[in-house]
Amino acid sequence: MAGSASLLIAGCGDVGSRLGLRLAAAGWTVHGLRRSVAQLPAPILAVPGDLRADACPPAWPAGQLDYLLYCAAATEHDEAGYRAAYVDGLRRVLGWLTEHGQRPKRLLFVSSSGVYGQQGGEWVDETSPAEAEGYSGRIMREAERLALGSGLPASLVRLTGIYGPGRQWLLNQVRQGYRVASEPPLYGNRIHVDDAAGLLAHLLQADARGVALEDCYLGVDDTPAPLHEVVAWLREQLGVSHWAEQATVRRAGSKRCSNARARALGWVPQYPSYREGYRAILAGR
């Protein structure tokens, strides 16, 4: 079973494609649902479909689906866009499963550490209150509750700030002389895109082996770090000596996310801190 399960990735973008390649190489049958399937790598079976459309995609996989990964991304970053992507889209996919009489062994819902409202640099884990006040955190919590109440065994995977090839916002900011407050330190949490895919693969393969999963996991590297420390290190790597003229940038929120629960399941990040991850990006890997 562990080597031959079937998976549907709803919202199969960058993270989903990397996950799909890993599992296809391990013998899984992987279906990828997205609007534009031209970018899907070959081993992933294309399911052209729109999570915002009511009609089930015509190419919906027939037969048993062992696992569902819901990995959508909002295309409009406002309240309506978040609700459409995370709550309404998930509700549609669950309905399409019912239409086809399919009952996956587990649903993995890709969520965000943005559900946490902590701002004082506290350590946060899966048991910490998740009470962010902004619309994005509130709607994500609503989608999480929908997943957990779906009637399927479900696990939430709250990913932190994803970075990697093609996700170079911070590098570009640093090149422009990005300033960030150092007091109080603004702790940030990140995970390399390959580690995000690796964690999802680890959870799915563990479940396929019969390992009991928790209902929530944090996806984060080993080393939450103050943003000013990351910026200083990147300035050194990039040889940037100037500062931007505008005043120090102040970012909201500061917390430290723990990956102890995922590590207890045997997951080990390939990039344990921002240093290894950004070194690989700067080396073109």
State residue 100's pLDDT score. Answer: 97
State residue 1's pLDDT score. Answer: 41
**Fold for domain 6-164+190-221+253-271?**
Rossmann fold (3.40.50)
Rounded Cα distance, 61 and 64, in Å: 8
Digit-by-digit pLDDT tens for the chain (285 residues) are 446 899 999 999 999 999 999 999 999 999 999 999 999 999 999 999 999 999 999 999 999 999 999 999 998 989 999 999 999 999 999 999 999 999 999 999 999 999 999 999 999 999 999 999 999 999 999 999 999 999 999 999 999 999 999 898 899 999 999 988 888 889 999 999 999 999 999 999 999 999 999 999 999 999 999 999 999 999 999 999 999 877 566 666 799 999 999 999 999 999 999 999 999 999 987
Q: How many CB atoms lie within 10 A of CB 212?
A: 8
State residue 245's pLDDT score. Answer: 79
Residue 207: phi, psi to the nearest 5? -60, -40
Query: What's 115's DSSP letter?
Result: G
DSSP lists the bridge partners of residue 7 as 30, 67
184 Cβ contact partners less than 8 Å away, ≥ 6 residues apart: 121, 254
Rounded Cα distance, 73 and 90, in Å: 11
Per-domain residue ranges of the chain? 6-164+190-221+253-271
CB 160 within 8 A of CB 189: yes
Rounded Cα distance, 105 and 66, in Å: 5
CB 105 within 8 A of CB 151: no
CB 185 within 8 A of CB 121: yes
State residue 69's pLDDT score. Answer: 98
* Helix, strand, or coil (residue 107): strand
Rounded Cα distance, 256 and 145, in Å: 24
Rounded Cα distance, 16 and 30, in Å: 10
Cα 203–chain centre separation = 13
Residue 66: phi, psi to the nearest 5? -75, -35
Rounded Cα distance, 253 and 250, in Å: 10
pTM above 0.85, yes or no: yes
Q: How many CB atoms lie within 10 A of CB 162?
A: 17
Instruction: Give the residue among 217, 220, 85 at the shortest CA–CA distance from 154.
Output: 217
